[in-house]
Amino acid sequence: GDSVTQMEGPVTLSEEAFLTINCTYTATGYPSLFWYVQYPGEGLQLLLKATKADDKGSNKGFEATYRKETTSFHLEKGSVQVSDSAVYFCALENQAGTALIFGKGTTLSVSS
């Protein structure tokens, strides 16, 4: 079935460091892909998405490119800030088009 695998955390970085959070997926066809972010005590918020192969989603300095060859959707940011500390979830739309399937989440901690 459809599934998402993302790198285990926590990821600990200093401010202004480069961030990569790996995400790979297993699915039939080419599902829409998403990154959501969860700040402490809050619900999930959509960070970015890509709906077809080679699309690049971007928002707030974060980017991810839909790579069908490697079934990946890695999240990157060139210079992280303390305010980026949160849990990041990679997700795909299931084949039936009825739900998002989430990875287990990666905790990012950025220190000044």
Binding site for other proteins (CB under 8 A): 32, 36, 41-46, 49, 51, 89, 93, 96-105
- To the nearest whole angstrom, how small is the minimum distance from the Cβ of residue 37 to other proteins? 11
- To the nearest whole angstrom, how small is the minimum distance from the Cβ of residue 61 to other proteins? 19
68/79 with CB nearer other proteins: 68
The conformation of residue 84, written as its DSSP 8-state character, comes to: G
2/76 with CB nearer other proteins: 2
Question: CB under 8 Å to 35, separation ≥6 — which residues?
Answer: 23, 46, 47, 48, 49, 57, 62, 64, 73, 75, 88, 89, 90, 91
43/69 with CB nearer other proteins: 43
